[in-house]
Amino acid sequence: MKNTIICSIAVLSAALLAACTETTRIWPEEGESKAYVEVSSQKVIFDADGGNAVITVATNADGWDYAAEGDWFTVARQDGNALLVETLINAGAETLTGKLTVSAEKNGETVSQEVALVQRAERSVNLSAEGTANCYIARTGGVYKFDASVKGNGGGDGVSDYIANYGLAIEDGAFAELLWESRHDGDKTMSREIIDGAPIYRGGYVTFSTGRSEGNAVIAVKDIKGNIVWSWHIWVCNDEITAHDHIDSEGKVAAVIMDRNLGALNNTPMDVGNRGMFYEWGRKDPFTPSRSPYHANTDGNNVPAYNEPNTAIGDGTGTWVYNAQAAVLATPPANIPNSILNPMTYLQSPYNGHADWYCTGTDPKATHPGLWGPEKTIFDPCPPGYKVPGPDLWGIPAGNNSITNGGAAADYDETGVSAKWDWNAYEDCGRRWKNTGDYYPMAGNIYYTDYISVSICNYTGGMAFYWTAQATPDATKSSAYFVNFNPNWCNYRLGEHDCSAQIRCIRE
């Protein structure tokens, strides 16, 4: 066994050169092993404004060397196992390209790795120009940046005491890293083309380029020890995302609502691109839906063949974890720091009779933390200008009861409409809200249990779950209202915080 140090690309900040993590690899005995050389990234893309990046090298040879092709950048060796690449402003009209070739020799065998270098001619689009958020919408084939010096929208944190303990500013960021990227159809090959190259962290901003594939990704900023300090959802969608009036059960405009689910590529019935992402209540980071095609036959409701997980990531470094129990913590901010450190870990409730990933206890600060609320918080997962929906969009609950607002096929006329219900009849693995005609797919949910789940994905094409920020009126319970429907009924009811559901964002 041999320990090899492999480092991520790190942009210099002050005296920082690189942040490393130790990876244990199993190799044959030294005398039998073949020569190898590895680099921390095979592609680096710089913005037109320039910058610097560190590429680290791992090899089992006694030494290594490099050759550079291109005169628009400089390269300097750092600390024996790293190369510092620096660029100035590209004031020309053309994209600059270059290459580094890192080579090593052992026992007469020479091996090499190439690193493609690119500097864009155009300046990056500032996605945070109109305000910061935990999610940004981008298009394919572009270069973008966002403000990574503040958490979320820089707003409040409900009553969770997170800001009091950890602050709003991101001051200890050292480098950016792509955690995951994924297409709705699970095509891992094309998932690698959502984010093009490695994201770069410089001067409190993250700069990244998009490739030719639409999909979703998460980029994190880490500290010098490799710990995640915050992460952002990048929603790459070429279709224009619009918003319109939402008419509630009383015929009033309750909100201006997005035309699709958060993270969806479209809102086309029976297209897997309509699903969007899943969220535990109060968390900012998304989880991926099933990659299975929709099936018209939903009689089984929870059919294993319809629930193939979409956990294969492109070139990201993260790992999905679905069976982790949240720590038993009774004092706010409880598990919020854990959720930020582990944005790809689905936190199951460890609390008997208190299904919450966040905090145990019956104190209102534990049960009603306001992580999502009437005002957008730093944990809200929607893009700038949008927030998690509030109360009364899809029903008007009285007390702590669920409200039925849709039925089986027999309740509707031949057009699928009923004077009794606001939700139209089931069609194409979804339902339409009668007052606007908006379509809501039944994308199911994700959840892991040893005794129920046939997969981490459940009820795909058979049920729908849509969160709101409206908490239960019972101050001793931790749950929030969501829309829940299948082909036979539809209601507006309470769901526990450690459940997963999708989000249809509304304008702030």
- Per-residue pLDDT in tens (0 to 9) along the chain, 508 residues: 333 333 333 433 333 333 333 333 333 444 458 899 999 888 999 989 888 888 989 999 989 999 999 999 999 998 778 899 999 989 888 999 999 999 999 988 999 999 999 998 888 999 999 999 999 999 999 999 999 999 999 999 999 999 999 999 999 999 999 999 999 999 999 999 999 988 989 889 999 999 999 999 999 999 999 999 999 999 999 999 999 999 999 999 999 999 999 999 999 999 999 999 999 999 999 999 999 999 876 565 788 889 999 998 998 999 999 988 899 999 999 999 999 999 999 998 876 556 799 999 889 999 999 999 999 999 999 999 999 999 889 988 777 889 999 999 999 999 999 999 999 999 999 999 999 999 999 999 998 765 555 579 999 999 999 999 999 999 999 999 999 999 999 999 999 999 999 999 999 9
Supply the pTM of this predicted model.
Answer: 0.84
pLDDT at 354: 63
pLDDT at 380: 98
pLDDT at 75: 96
pLDDT at 255: 97
Encoded tokens for 294: 């929709």
Encoded tokens for 234: 């990048």
Task: Scan for tokens 């507006």, then name that residue.
Answer: 492
Mark residue 370 as left, alpha or beta (left: phi above 0; alpha: psi -120 to 50; beta: remaining): left
pLDDT at 352: 56
Pairwise CA distance, residues 295 & 303, whole Å: 10
pLDDT tens-digit readout, 349-387? 876 556 799 999 889 999 999 999 999 999 999 999 999
Give the side-chain half-sphere CA count within 13 A for 432: 17
Encoded tokens for 30: 């030294």
pLDDT at 430: 96
Mark residue 165 as left, alpha or beta (left: phi above 0; alpha: psi -120 to 50; beta: remaining): alpha
pLDDT at 440: 98
Burial of 132 (C-beta count, 10 Å sphere; 0-12/13-18/19+): buried
pLDDT at 93: 83
**Cα dihedral 192, 197, 315, 2 sign:** positive
Report which secondary-structure segment, H or E, holds 321. strand 321-325
In angstroms, the Cα distances linking 465 to 108, 264, 423, 454, 502 are 61, 15, 14, 18, 6
261, 504 Cβ separation under 8 angstroms = yes
Encoded tokens for 38: 């590895």
The full 3-state SS of 86-154, as one line of letters, equals: EECCCCCCCCEEEEEEEEEEECCEEEEEEEEEEECCCCCEECCCCCCCCEEEECCCCEEEEECCECCCC
Pairwise CA distance, residues 244 & 380, whole Å: 20
Q: 486 in helix, strand or coil? A: coil
In angstroms, the Cα distances linking 377 to 26, 154, 201, 224, 469 are 45, 8, 24, 27, 11
216, 234 Cβ separation under 8 angstroms = yes
Closest CA to 206 of 361, 386, 9, 487: 9
Encoded tokens for 123: 């300046």
Pairwise CA distance, residues 406 & 424, whole Å: 7
pLDDT tens-digit readout, 197-252? 889 898 899 999 999 999 999 999 999 999 999 999 999 999 999 999 999 999 99
Q: 188 in helix, strand or coil? A: helix
97, 65 Cβ separation under 8 angstroms = no
Q: 156 in helix, strand or coil? A: strand
